[in-house]
Structure 1
Amino acid sequence: MPDEQEDRWRRETGGSGFPERARRRLRRLRDSRSRERAEVVLLVKCTVAAGLSWFIASTLMQAASPAFAPFTAVMMVQATIYRSIAASWRYVAAVTAGVVVQGALGFLFGPAFPTFLLVALVALALSRLPALGAQRTSVATAAFFAFSQFTMATDTAGRVQGLVEIVLLVLVGCLSGVAVNLVLFPPLRYRSADEGLAVLASSVADLLQDMGTALCSGEAGSDDAHRWRRRANGLADMVSQARTGVETARESLRLNPVFFLRRHRDRTSLETQRNVVGALDRVGGLASSLARGLAERDGGEAAAPSPAELGALLSSLSDAARSLQDIGEGPLRQRIGELDGRLDDVRLRLSRLEEDRSGDAVRTAVYTDAARLEEEFRTLRDALREETGEAPPH
């Protein structure tokens, strides 16, 4: 009985106790694609970058304010190496600008309160320069910190040394952050592309499946068609997220040594994944157009040539869309084979639907949208074949 009660408790609570949660987290840590693994890697990299920069600034340079280096280093551990380098040069430029402004005005007018106001005015004005990107606010921050250092120094040599030290500490921090990001687990963001594409393909497949099931059952009405159209229009956000994921993955390859050492030959190229996202975007638009046609019949019943055949066609297209979920992970030839099998059934369904395409303009428009859906998947299949070197079927 105690064992049965424990099993029942686990089923009801989902094993929500601390030991069970800890075990789940440890299991996910073994997966290189998990969010937990990414968080731990980021934590380790930031710690190493901070420690390295502190050692250089405190032990080797014996700087008066070494904390500026690890503070900078942690900020430079970005999601991609390209972003680390881009953020670094902008941050160095922003800090240097702030230090130069403070140094020039400080030596010209002295460490007085009116000088601070003038430094603040000029630094805040420079902080609006778009060329420095997200780092532009650091112009004012550096100027304020430099003014503090300037006022604490007792002679000209000490003031010059303090200002130069700030810039050097920033350089140490940037170099440490970029070096650690480059050497220690260089980030390849394939996961962002894979997840965005998988969510989009799954959503498109679910929409087509729901449309197909309702039409096959003969229970689809205008209200259903309006709801399908709203869902199809809502795919735009997922398309945007998928495109962002692909672009992030492309960016992570730039200047990344792992990409050059390990080519991931079993993966589908990111260019192909971008083309798949574009194709699914067009499929969503066609699904919206088709749903609009189904809703344009007066009365409660949706307009369609042979609703059952149209429903079967959409269900087959749903299977085709679902076969694209894991296309980024390869092997691509296997995905093409799965897509081929789905499209054979789609062509059969479309030929049957063509026999009942005659009628009013609404029925003709619905058939045209269905035919364009099939053509979109067939065009995508042919493009995938070209990437593998296979000749498209005639």
Structure 2
Amino acid sequence: MTSPARALRCEAHALFCAAHNAVHGPGRERDLVIQSLKAAAAALLAWVIARNWLGDPMAMMAPWVAVVLVQATVYSSLRQAAQQFAAICLGALLASGAQALTGDITAALALCLPVLMLLANWSRFGAQGVYAATTALFTLTAGPVTASAVTHRMGQAALGAVIGVAVNAFVLPPIHLRDVRENLAALAHETGDVLHAAAGHLREDEWDARTAVRWSRTASDLERRLDGLRSARRWSEESLRLTTGRLRAMHRVPLDVPPADEDERWGRITGHVMTLSRTLAVAADTDRTPSPPDLAALGSYARLLELIGEACHAEGSRIRGSSGDGPGQEGRATMDELHGELQARLREHASDSAPRTAVLGALLLQAENVWAEIAWPK
């Protein structure tokens, strides 16, 4: 169990690393700093315009809306601006109607809040539906509820929405292309790590329940990384919507993002590696029928996995834009030699033990599938 002091040190270290990354180079941390400063600037600008230029002594609605609408993409800012403005108008109108009907703040709240909270869950409002209820609270408790006051609040909401969307769209518009490259490179490196770890266990003849659990866990970790890549791809595609080439150039983000075909290819590769890991986990489970292959076959297979892992690491370096040495001609020759050796072992197992033949055949098939995708990408 982690002590509070240790947890505090870990959080402090993570905060220091994030600050260091934000200062020393482009990345997710710097993007977060930029978006945070943009939200603060949008709120301050909305306050100055509403309070000083428009002379509103209660200019709270405009900065409130503006700070919320500096979203992760320009498209999401615009979409949520429409949803939030509709929710705010609905909340202000129902609150004023309830006040006019009951003549009492408490009764008006009791009348309109249940309806507004039900409407907050309407899918058309997305995550902005709750602002209908909060606007009603603000309208009924901030002062006299008059037609001019309600119209004034709605005007402030519109002002804040315009400022928030404009700041997000024209001041370093968020372009999430870097995340795709980082997730894809990380997926390639982690796939290579999984293969190297499996090779090490095979060479050390580690076949027990704990090893089986580790192999199953590595398969789940790769699946989560693949989900992260798909999420990053969706964000990157959305971040390019409603942003012109000039606005993208202002952010100075390289637009040569790896194509979507790379996601599909690495999805197939990780699928084969996950199947391979689960096959190893089954073979390591003494309560199941299949038996692991003999030590000689495991040694050859471990070397095969190491070669494929090196190819995965080289692919990860290539995706990041740095040089990475793949297996090369010598590695390919070694691969062919190991493949022939394992095919011979498979024929020997076929005449000796059907369970061992099944396990070795399944492992060899998945290794061949991974190698084919890396060596000859389609």
TM-score, normalisation: structure 2: 0.80
Q: Aligned pair 1:152/2:138, yes or no?
A: no
Deviations 1:234-292 (A, max 9, x none): 223333233223322232222233576579464422x1342244124313322224304
- Asked if the contact 2:212–2:285 (Cα under 8 Å) also holds between the matched residues in 1, the reply is no
Alpha-carbon distance between aligned partners in 2 of 1:57 and 1:39, rounded to the nearest angstrom: 27
Taking structure 1 as reference, are residues 369 and 299 closer, same or farther at Cα in structure 2, changes over 3 Å only? closer
Taking structure 1 as reference, are residues 382 and 199 closer, same or farther at Cα in structure 2, changes over 3 Å only? same
Q: CA deviation at 1:64?
A: 3.8
Deviations 1:339-362 (A, max 9, x none): 766656434322221121122333
Q: Aligned pair 1:31/2:2, yes or no?
A: no
Aligned to 2:200: 213
Q: Name which of structure 1's ranges 314-323 and 53-62 shifts more when overlaid on structure 2.
A: 53-62
Deviations 1:347-378 (A, max 9, x none): 43222211211223333332333233322342
Aligned to 1:288: 277
Alignment of 1:275-314 (within 5 A): 275-292=264-281, 294-295=283-284, 302-304=292-294, 306-314=297-305
Secondary structure of the 2:78 match is helix
Aligned to 1:202: 189
Q: CA deviation at 1:95?
A: 0.6
Letter in 2 for 1:125: L
Alignment of 1:207-356 (within 5 A): 207-217=194-204, 219-223=205-209, 226-235=212-221, 236-257=223-244, 261=249, 264=254, 266-269=256-259, 271-292=260-281, 294-295=283-284, 302-304=292-294, 306-330=297-321, 338=326, 345-356=334-345
Taking structure 1 as reference, are residues 114 and 294 closer, same or farther at Cα in structure 2, changes over 3 Å only? closer
Alpha-carbon distance between aligned partners in 2 of 1:102 and 1:24, rounded to the nearest angstrom: 44
Q: CA deviation at 1:299?
A: 11
Secondary structure of the 2:66 match is helix
Q: CA deviation at 1:103?
A: 2.5
Alpha-carbon distance between aligned partners in 1 of 2:211 and 2:374, rounded to the nearest angstrom: 26
Letter in 2 for 1:318: G
Deviations 1:134-157 (A, max 9, x none): 1111111111112235x525xxxx
Alignment of 1:35-74 (within 5 A): 35=29, 37-74=30-67
Alpha-carbon distance between aligned partners in 2 of 1:339 and 1:247, rounded to the nearest angstrom: 33
Alpha-carbon distance between aligned partners in 1 of 2:327 and 2:73, rounded to the nearest angstrom: 33
Task: Supply the RMSD in Å over aligned alpha carbons.
Answer: 3.3
Aligned to 2:4: none
Alpha-carbon distance between aligned partners in 1 of 2:370 and 2:289, rounded to the nearest angstrom: 31
Taking structure 1 as reference, are residues 361 and 80 closer, same or farther at Cα in structure 2, changes over 3 Å only? farther
Secondary structure of the 2:129 match is helix
Alpha-carbon distance between aligned partners in 2 of 1:377 and 1:65, rounded to the nearest angstrom: 66
- Asked if the contact 1:293–1:303 (Cα under 8 Å) also holds between the matched residues in 2, the reply is no
Deviations 1:67-99 (A, max 9, x none): 211111111111222221222111111111111
Query: Mind listing any 5+ residue stretches in structure 1 that lack a counterpart?
Result: 1-17, 154-158, 387-394
Secondary structure of the 1:185 match is coil
Q: CA deviation at 1:296?
A: 6.0
Query: Mind listing any 5+ residue stretches in structure 2 that lack a counterpart?
Result: 1-11
Q: CA deviation at 1:44?
A: 2.2
- Asked if the contact 1:221–1:301 (Cα under 8 Å) also holds between the matched residues in 2, the reply is no
Q: CA deviation at 1:312?
A: 0.6
